[in-house]
Structure 1
Amino acid sequence: MSTTTTSQTPESEGPGRPARLIQNEATTEIPVHLLFRDEPDPVPPALGPAVVARRQGTGEQPRFRRPGPVGPRAAPEVDPDLVERAARVLPGAAGLLAGVCGAAGCAVNTWWAGVLPPLAVRALRLPAYAGAGLGPAQWAAYAGAGALGLFGFGGLARGRTGRAWVLGLFGRYRGTVRRTGLLWVNPLVLRSRVDVRLRHWRGEPMPAADGNGVALRVVVLVVWRVRDTARATLGVEDHETYLRECVEAALARVPVEAAGAARGAAGAAGDALTRLVAADAGPVGLEVFSVRPVRVEYAPEVAAVMTRRRIAALDARHRASVLTSVVDSVEDTVARLTMRGLVDLDDRERKALVKDLTVAFCSGRGETGP
């Protein structure tokens, strides 16, 4: 007795479709628009190409997106509340008056205590007074008069043209003094003198490069001044060092032509350097007027090679100019002889004459110089 097993095809499947090999197989239709839909970039474009995430169950492959243009470089951030403002000071006469009053108070208290020498009493024509000696009242009067005198004379300061005082009290900015003459400033505050005049700075040779990447050494002349004393003093550790580093950074970004280049290229490099340095130094209270290269030379490691190359270029230019002059002279001589009918030359004779004239002119140029 034989048993025959017949496999039946499900009704949902057509006659031409093969049977499923996996019992739990499931087919999901993928909408076409899902394969080409973009998602927001998880990283900013400036950090590199963004990869669109793979969607689970859709079969979509990750795709790379071309990074967008990088935005302008952000300026250095400085405390927005750190802005120069005028400090509260008094005229110098007030300090002198307070100091004199303190000294006079000490002298009167000494006479009141009876410890003033008789010679000083007679010299000052003061009435004789026995006094009660140095007691608590006398010591308190001494302390008050002495403090008044110290505050009066200790706060005297002299303001000069082109100089400013940056005041700070317990680590807090208290203002800037730009006034001139005799002033009275609180003696408890710390004073930092700042030069606010128009200044020029000629630096030492700094590394740079030309348009072809050849190493150079450039000496620049920077004309600048301190515009905001608060930011220049408190915004950076040393504003002069910061300015020098800004110039070095600008030289690393701007190509500078070597010596002997056109003046227009040198002027364009100076304008570009001025814009970059002014943009970097502006947020810290420095105003840059110009940054100009005053001396450009090749770096020591390439100076010999570039000198030989320049000499070779000058020699080639000189030879080309001599050859052009000789050819023009030969052509003019042959044309004149032919036009005046002095000679009747065929092609062979013309070539020979041109050869002889060329040799003669070149020999003459070599003997007499250019």
Structure 2
Amino acid sequence: MTTTTSHIPEHVPESEGPDGGVAAARPARLIHTESTTEIPVHLLFREEPAASSSAPPAEVKLRPAVVGHRPPPEQAEQAEKSAKSAKDDRDTRDIGLRARPSAPGVDPEIAERPARVLPGIAGVLAGTFGAAGCAVTAWWSGVLPPLAVEALGVSAGTGGLGPAQWAAFAGAGALGLFGFGGLARGRTGRAWVLELFGRYRGTVRATGLLWVNPLLLRRRVDVRLRHWRGDPLPAADRGGVALRVAVLVVWRVRDTARATLGVEDHQGYLRACVEAALLRVPVAAPGAGRGAVQATQDALTRLVAADARPVGVEVCAVRPLRVEYAPEVAAAMHRRRVAALDARHRASVVGSVVDSVEDTVTRLTMRGLLDLDDYERRTLVKDLTVAFCAGRGDTGA
């Protein structure tokens, strides 16, 4: 028994045979290019196993078979290569993630942390014991000066300078130097950044007498609130007009490690940050209201604080102290103002001369002193205008 992979329409009869009967029906192909595949019958249907051999045969359940077309060899090879490539990429990514090192030997980001120090009394005691040890060793070896022996009221030692005495001298001297050499005085508003062979070891902010390891390099840092007032810097207002702005920056060192090891010149760095902020923020022009000035101050403070925070510097405020136009802009504005004043003055002079001429001609005509035609009137007006303008020019009015 065979079947086809395509759906077969209902059977249509063929033409009648010579005996008048109807021949066996066969399926008619609607698509001449369709292909058929022979499939064994046992793959089309599956029987449920019987409970026992004596039981009646179970009902056979028919299930349709799902038949898939096999792609051409070229497409199958290409799909196999694509799947293999995707698997290799996935495996490579997984291996990369698993093999990525955790960097255990890399130092974390530099940040301030407290250093290990001892009270100053520990250094004083260590130094005292070291000095006393040196004195006892000197008496033991017999090198103590006679005056000191007489003052102490003891007999001079007779041990001599042997290996034991030298070892005792070295130990006591090292203890004394180590104790007295590590004494330091902490002050309010000052801190020490400690380094050992170029590596940051901590910050000391404590006050009073302290003992710090004398092998550590100490860098004093001022952590008090400070002010910096710079020279006028270039800026611009909302209209793009060039300005010169002098600002006051209120700042202090917040993270001593970053501030000391991250930047060398704090004021130079703040100047660069202020210059960058002035290029991004439009400054309120001279004569602007209080609200515009406050908005400019807030914007400058926010930008400069964001730029200075990574290096451990805290910016409290950036206040514009003096805002003036650039020299070239000021010169152009001065010339424009002078020209406007001159034009206004000329307009006022011409208006006053015209009023004076009109008043004079009107009075002469109304009183009957002159009987003028149009040509004579125009001539008189011109002569009076020239005379009045010349008179005002001579008097400087």
How high is the TM-score relative to the length of structure 1? 0.61
Out of 186, 199, 205, the position equivalent to 2:232 is 205
Q: Write the mapping of 1:124-163 to structure 2, written as runs, cut at 5 A.
A: 124-125=152-153, 127-163=154-190
Residue 294 (1) aligns with residue 326 (2): no
Counterpart of 1:228 in structure 2 is 255
- 1:107 aligned to 2:127? no
Distance 1:313 1:224, change over 3 A: farther
Give the alignment partner of residue 183 of structure 1, picking from 210, 225, 249: 210
Distance in 2, Cα, partners of 1:124 & 1:275: 71
Residues 149, 156 of structure 2: 8 Å contact kept:
no
Amino acid at match of 1:221: L
1:234 deviates by 1.4
Residues 1:179 and 1:130: Cα distance change in structure 2 (over 3 Å): closer
Aligned-pair CA distance for 1:309: 3.8
- Tell me if structure 1 keeps the 8 A contact 2:224–2:253: yes
Identity %: 80
Distance 1:253 1:230, change over 3 A: same
Structure 1 residues 310 and 251, CA, compared in 2 at 3 Å: closer, same or farther? farther
2:113 is aligned with what amino acid? R
Is contact 2:195–2:201 with CA below 8 Å preserved after alignment?
yes
Q: CA RMSD in A?
A: 2.4
Matching residue within 259, 271, 276 for 2:303: 276
CA distance in 1, matches of 2:294, 2:341: 24
What is the CA-CA distance between 1:262 and the residue it aligns to?
A: 2.2
In the alignment, structure 1 residue 308 sits paired with structure 2 residue 335: yes
Partner AA of 2:187 in structure 1 = R
Compute the TM-score of the two structures, normalised by the length of structure 2.
Answer: 0.57
Q: Distance in 2 between matches of 1:299 and 1:314?
A: 22
- Higher-RCO chain (CA-CA 8 Å, sequence separation at least 6): 1
Query: How many positions carry a matched residue from both structures?
Result: 241
Which of 107, 115, 122 pairs up with 2:150? Answer: 122
In the TM superposition, residue 318 of structure 1 has moved relative to its aligned partner by 11
Q: Judging changes above 3 Å, is the alpha-carbon distance between structure 1 residues 115 and 301 closer, same or farther for their aligned structure 2 residues?
A: same
96, 111, 132: which one aligns with 2:124:
96
Q: Assess if the C-alpha contact under 8 Å between 1:233 and 1:239 holds in 2.
A: no
Alignment map for 1:244-259 (pairs within 5 Å): 244-259=271-286
Separation of aligned partners in 2, 1:313 and 1:101: 89
Larger Rg over CA atoms: 2
Amino acid at match of 2:183: L
* Secondary structure of 1:115 counterpart: coil
Shift of 1:117: 1.2
CA contact (8 A) 1:166 1:192 kept: yes
Q: CA deviation at 1:233?
A: 1.2
